[in-house]
Amino acid sequence: MTVPEGGATQAPAAPQRVRLLRSPAALALADLAGVFEDLQTVLRCCERLVNELARGGAGAEPDELALEAYWTTAVLSYGRCFSSGPRGSGLTEEDITATGLPGDLMGWHEVLLQQRDRLSHPVTNPREAFSVGAAQDSTGHAEGIAVASTRQPSVDEVSVRQTGALAYGLSGRLDERMAAQQGVVFTAVAAMARPALDKLALLHLASPEAGQG
Identify the residue with better confidence: 211 or 78: 78
Residue 8 placed within a domain = no
Per-residue pLDDT at 213 = 44
Q: CA distances (Å), 130 to each of 65, 68, 136, 146, 192, in order?
A: 19, 18, 19, 10, 63
Distance between CA 21 and CA 14 in Å, rounded?
18
Q: What CA dihedral angle connects 81, 202, 208 and 184, to 10 degrees?
A: 40
Residue 77 placed within a domain = yes
Q: Tell me the pLDDT tens digit for each residue of 33-44.
A: 999 999 999 999
- In this predicted structure, which of 8-17, 91-100, 142-151 has the lowest mean pLDDT? 8-17
Residue 176 placed within a domain = yes
**What is the SS3 assignment for 155-184?**
CCHHHHHHHHHHHHHHHHHHHHHHHHHHHH
Residue 213 placed within a domain = no
Per-residue pLDDT at 212 = 54
- The pTM of the full predicted model, rounded to 2 decimals, is 0.83
Residue 211 placed within a domain = no
Residue 60 placed within a domain = yes
Could you give the number of structural domains in the chain? 1
For residue 163, the enclosing domain spans 24-123+156-198
Q: Tell me the pLDDT tens digit for each residue of 125-157.
A: 988 999 999 999 999 999 999 999 998 888 999
Burial of residue 160 (CB within 10 Å: 0-12, 13-18, 19+) is: buried
Per-residue pLDDT at 178 = 95
Q: Tell me the pLDDT tens digit for each residue of 63-78.
A: 999 999 999 999 999 9
Per-residue pLDDT at 204 = 81
Instruction: Report whether 167 contacts 78 (CB < 8 A).
Output: yes
Residue 108 placed within a domain = yes
Residue 1 placed within a domain = no
